[in-house]
Every structure is written in structure tokens, then in C-alpha cells.
A and B are shown apart, each in its own frame.
Chain A
């Protein structure tokens, strides 16, 4: 009776055992990496806007406070986008003929708001509120990055749930004093520069622990599903 298989079949059989394990592992690894990549999350991606608004110029260069435009950030779930009138407080006087600002003038003339493209978009099944985060000492830059270094706006974080949870589980690693929330250049205290006003904290962790207590952050509650998924 002739052999059905060539003797190389033995090697192929052995290799296939390793191959299957390797393949399954590789597929899982690739799937996991793609899911975390900016391709899926949009992290670091610059969105096109009707007017190339530069946060770097307005915040760092001119020193305009966040709340000058995002007026409702302290009192509402939505930080607020400025109406065209806010832009025109300055741009009715300066750069009045700049080509780049034509859509702004158009909007002002017709009363039709500018349609900005949303950069930070959370899914609809997530309830997010800006005001509570501001009130508990989460800095703007903690989630949005150093906006004053962004000529065009991009999404700083992945916005995936584990990113939310790393702060909800350990808020003390991220909190800062309320007075520093809008400060783009705030640095956590160090042994050389302790935070005298907040328990003489010499590190982020010490400061965070102090603030969690001070601001009444309920660590046992903020990881409940229904805090965000209502």
C-alpha cells in the first residue's frame, strides 16, 4: 500500500501546532492593538474646521481665559461653544479684512451660526458633565491636553472607558486645586515646592489624597455603572 503522506507531513503537523497557537495569539494581539490605535479612537487627530482657530494663539499668545468662550463649563454639563458675537468682540476691530475670517463675518451678517466640527465626542450612552469635574478639581488640561500648545485642536486622550476609569478609580493621581483648574501650565507640588495651602503636600499623590477628602470625592461611588450610564 503506498504512503498517503510524504514524510515531510510530520514536520508540517508539528509546525501547525505552534502555528495555530501563534496565529490565534497574533490575531488577538492585532485586534487589541487596532482597537486601541488612533485609527479607531481618533486620538491625536486634527479635525478640519470652517475657520482654522488656533488655541495656541488665543490662549498662550493673548492670554484669554478658557471661560471667555466656554462660558458654561462651570455650571453645565456642556462647556459651551461661543456664539459668533464672542468672536466679533475683537474681530470687529482687528483683522477685519482677513480672508481667513470671512466665514465668521458671514455668520455675523446672516445670523447663521458657524458649524464647528466636534473634536471630543463621547458616545450617547455616556452621561458626562463638565461642571462636576471642574468643581472637584479636574484641570482642563488633564483631559484636553495642553490646549495652549495646539495651533489646531486635536483630541488629546483616547476617550475609551478604561481611560475614564483610570481617574475614576484613582482620582488622587490627577486632581489639582480648584484655583488651578484653568491653568494650562500647572505643575504638581514637589518636596522643593510644597503646596502650603493644601496640607503641605509634597507630591501629586499627597495633594490628591488631601483634595479627595477636601472636595468630598466619593471614591466608592464614582465607579458605579449608573454614574455615567444612566
Chain B
């Protein structure tokens, strides 16, 4: 009994998932007005202009690549996988937070996911779009990318199933499809709300078509709940499978530094780690700009901090195991790779990754750090950089010195590598900026559910909420 009381007290001490002033009606108004307002905020235009310029830089870099070929990148023997693969893994990893939040936290009934799931799912979609560009561009002849699909072609060939490239095609296209479905299905009731609230005739028709005739009847809701849960179940294995396959892209090769059984789980943890860092990087400024502190509360930041800490520790364990196995295997090449990473020409990258991914997240043990938005924001950016460095270290240091010293070499990204990478950041931001203007960035109907639940829990009469509605 005493224990139970103690648990209850801790629960009461937690900041609420939604600020107490919100009612069922006002929470919908608050979220929908961001989309339906006639007065687009001036900074929004500035954001669109800036990210569009950066996206143009990306298209420019891609255009030149199509003209000239992958020779404009820094890839060459022995480092034939460079920025493209680093960026691909980084972006795909970022997407994983969205799937984890929408699928696993849904099945585990974590109500705090409600405020951030829509946004995180959108982030997943755009991250996957950015990720998908890199392997395609790395093909050399991207216009025949469809050769990777099994279809009755005039060459009489099937894809090479032993090739990691083909695994990626299936993993990523499945992931993109399920993520899109999940996101869209989650949007349907909110699109109907927007249709009903919109004043503009065109907006009414567009939201009307997109809401697929949703009327909110009991049978609609009944089917909807089942469909959403099923999709959640379908998406859950993807959280683990997609990045496992990305991990196996490496583990399937015999290069020391890649050929390791720890890769799939360690990649999954790293993916969620970087994904939550990206969610934090994006939500902290957004909640401030749009005054959403009452919906995305300190509680959310605290929870995201905890997940980053937990997954960061798994990643740290992964690093420790790589070093340990390098030593314990008593294999010349493994041990050389380990010491070369730590003290070789790319030591700066290794130690930077240790600083960003192990030293910095340790501060998340402190509740004060987790609940101070600006500090959490800075930490999340450091983790984003650290996770990019991790992939850089894995790809480049493993390849640049392998078995034969005569075939050693050095690698550096060219200006086109950097333009493509930074360009995808701009493209990603552009997609998000457009998204928050035309679609509700927080799930309104789930927030209404949450608010009414809270009202009942808090003992306030549910009728108050209904009358206000």
C-alpha cells in the first residue's frame, strides 16, 4: 500500500500531458487556427524562402550529378561508399522516432505520444524522402532505378537478392508506404474537422476530398479504431526491421568494422536515439513560435530526454562492444581497425562522436537538464551531429584502411557532397514548413480524447467540457 501511494505521488508530481486550461473545444480551435488563419505569419514566408533557396542548391547539385556522374563526389577506391551512404543511414535513422511514437507507443497506450505523433510521423515521411534520394543518386544511372524491382523486364532478369541494395529497396519502400498510410489514416478525422471549420471554399473542397467522406458516426469511429490499431501493429515490426536491414548492409560485407553481429540492434537503438533528437530539435522551437507550450508540455520534453538517454546508453554499449570484440577476437585486422579509428587519421571524427553521443547525453540523467527547453535543444543538436559522425566513422574509417596497406587511401567529401547533404536539410525543412501551414501538426481528435479523459480524472464534471464545446 505504501508503495502504491508513493507511485501515485510521483505521478502527481509530473507535469501534465496537456495544460489544464484547455477544453475539448479550445484544443481543436488552438490547433486548427494555425492552419485556417488568413494571416500567414511573416516569419513563415521567410522560412519558405530560405529553405527553398537551399532546396534549389540541392536540385542544382543533383542536376550536375546527372550530367557528370558520381565522379563529382569524393567516392573512389578504396572508399567507394561515402557521403551518400552516411546521409542515407542518418536520414533513415531519424525517421524511426516517428514510427516508434506512432506505433509502439500507441500499442503501449502512452498517452503523451498524442501531442507529438502527427508531427513526428510527418518528420518520418520527409526524412525517408531525403534518405531515399541518396542510394538512388549513388546508382550512377538513377533513371533505371526500377531495375531494382522484380517486374517482367525485357532483360529476362530478376534483381540480385544477395545484394544489400535490393534489401534496402524493399525495406525502405515498405517503410515509406506504411508510414504514409499511418500518417494519412491518422489525419482523416482531423481533415474532416478542417473541412467543417474552413471558411474558404477551395479549402472546404480540398479538405473534403481528403477526408474521404468522414462524418464521425459511431460506425466510422469503430472501424477507424480497428484500422488504426492494425496499422500500428503493422508498423511496429518496421521500427526494428528497417534499420536492422540497414545495419546488415554493412554487416554483410567482410570489411573489419562492418562485419559484426551487433550491427542490427545497435543500429536500431542509434536510429531511435537520433530520431528523438530530431523530434526535440524541431518541437522545441515550434512549440515556442506557435504558443503550443500547453500542448507539448515539459512532460514531453522530459520523456523525450529519457528515451534519448536510454537509447544513447545502448549506443554507448555498442561502441564499447566494438572495442572489446576488436581486442577479444585477437584478430589482427579487427584490432588494427579499432586502434586506427581511435588514433588514425580520422581520430578526430571518432572522438567527436564519443563526445556527442556518450559524454553529452550523460547530462540527461539530470531532470533539470531534461526539463529546460533550451538546454535540451542544444543537446539534441549535438546528438544529431554525433549520429552523423557515427555513420561517417563506420563508413569511412572501415573502408579507408582494410586488409592490404597497398590499397589504403583517404577520403573527403567534395563541395557537391556537401551541397547535396545540406540541400536535403533544406528540402526536409521546406516540407515541414509547408506541412505545418496546410495540415494540423498535432492530432486534434486525439487531443480532445486526452483532454476529456483528464477532465474526468481530475474530478471536474465532464459536462463542463461538453457545454463549452
A9 to chain B: which residues have CB within 8 Å?
213
Beyond A5-B208, A13-B213, whether A165 also contacts B156 by CB under 8 A is yes
- Which positions 4-20 of chain A face chain B at CB distance < 8 Å? 4-5, 9-10, 13
Alpha-carbon distance A5/B205, docked complex (angstroms): 8
Is residue B2 contacting chain A, with contact meaning CB distance below 8 A?
A: no
Is residue A185 contacting chain B, with contact meaning CB distance below 8 A?
A: no
Instruction: Give 1 or 0 for each of A153-187: 1 = CB within 8 Å of chain B CB.
Output: 00000101111111000000000000000000000
A216 to chain B: which residues have CB within 8 Å?
none
Instruction: Give 1 or 0 for each of B150-162: 1 = CB within 8 Å of chain A CB.
Output: 0011111100000
Beyond A4-B195, A4-B205, whether A162 also contacts B213 by CB under 8 A is no
Contact B208 A162 (CB under 8 A): no
B195 to chain A: which residues have CB within 8 Å?
4
CB distance from B202 to the nearest CB of A (A): 11
Is residue A35 contacting chain B, with contact meaning CB distance below 8 A?
A: yes
Is residue A32 contacting chain B, with contact meaning CB distance below 8 A?
A: yes
Contact A4 B204 (CB under 8 A): yes
Secondary structure call for the B interface: loop
B466 to chain A: which residues have CB within 8 Å?
none
CB distance from A173 to the nearest CB of B (A): 14
Is residue A213 contacting chain B, with contact meaning CB distance below 8 A?
A: no
Contact A162 B156 (CB under 8 A): yes
Which of A5, A13, A35, A161 interacts with B156 by CB under 8 Å?
Answer: A161
Alpha-carbon distance A32/B152, docked complex (angstroms): 8
Is residue B375 contacting chain A, with contact meaning CB distance below 8 A?
A: no
Alpha-carbon distance A161/B152, docked complex (angstroms): 12
Alpha-carbon distance A39/B351, docked complex (angstroms): 61
CB distance from B403 to the nearest CB of A (A): 24
Alpha-carbon distance A162/B154, docked complex (angstroms): 5
A4 to chain B: which residues have CB within 8 Å?
195, 204-205, 208
B153 to chain A: which residues have CB within 8 Å?
162
- Size bracket, chain A contacts: 10 to 19
Is residue B320 contacting chain A, with contact meaning CB distance below 8 A?
A: no
Contact B152 A10 (CB under 8 A): no
Instruction: Give 1 or 0 for each of A15-37: 1 = CB within 8 Å of chain B CB.
Output: 00000000000000000100110
- Which positions 227-242 of chain B face chain A at CB distance < 8 Å? none
Alpha-carbon distance A165/B156, docked complex (angstroms): 7
Contact B208 A36 (CB under 8 A): no
Alpha-carbon distance A115/B156, docked complex (angstroms): 34
Alpha-carbon distance A5/B204, docked complex (angstroms): 10
Alpha-carbon distance A196/B444, docked complex (angstroms): 84
Alpha-carbon distance A164/B155, docked complex (angstroms): 9
Contact A161 B154 (CB under 8 A): yes
CB distance from B362 to the nearest CB of A (A): 51
A13 to chain B: which residues have CB within 8 Å?
212-213
B205 to chain A: which residues have CB within 8 Å?
4-5
A35 to chain B: which residues have CB within 8 Å?
154
Alpha-carbon distance A85/B256, docked complex (angstroms): 65
Alpha-carbon distance A165/B157, docked complex (angstroms): 9
Alpha-carbon distance A188/B195, docked complex (angstroms): 73
Residue of A nearest to B155 (CB): A161
B156 to chain A: which residues have CB within 8 Å?
160-166
Contact A160 B208 (CB under 8 A): no
Alpha-carbon distance A166/B155, docked complex (angstroms): 10
Alpha-carbon distance A35/B152, docked complex (angstroms): 11
B155 to chain A: which residues have CB within 8 Å?
160-162, 165
B154, B157, B213 pick with most chain A CB within 10 angstroms: B154
B154 to chain A: which residues have CB within 8 Å?
35-36, 158, 160-162
B208 to chain A: which residues have CB within 8 Å?
4-5
**10 A-B pairs closest in CB distance:** A162-B156, A161-B155, A165-B156, A160-B154, A4-B208, A4-B204, A162-B154, A35-B154, A161-B156, A162-B155
What are 14 inter-chain pairs, A to B, with CB distance below 8 A?
A4-B195, A4-B205, A10-B213, A32-B152, A36-B154, A160-B156, A161-B155, A161-B157, A162-B154, A162-B155, A162-B156, A163-B156, A164-B156, A165-B157
- Besides A162-B155, A163-B156, 20 more A-B contacts (Cβ < 8 Å) are A4-B195, A4-B204, A4-B208, A5-B205, A5-B208, A9-B213, A13-B212, A158-B154, A160-B154, A160-B155, A160-B156, A161-B155, A161-B156, A162-B153, A162-B156, A162-B157, A164-B156, A165-B155, A165-B157, A166-B156
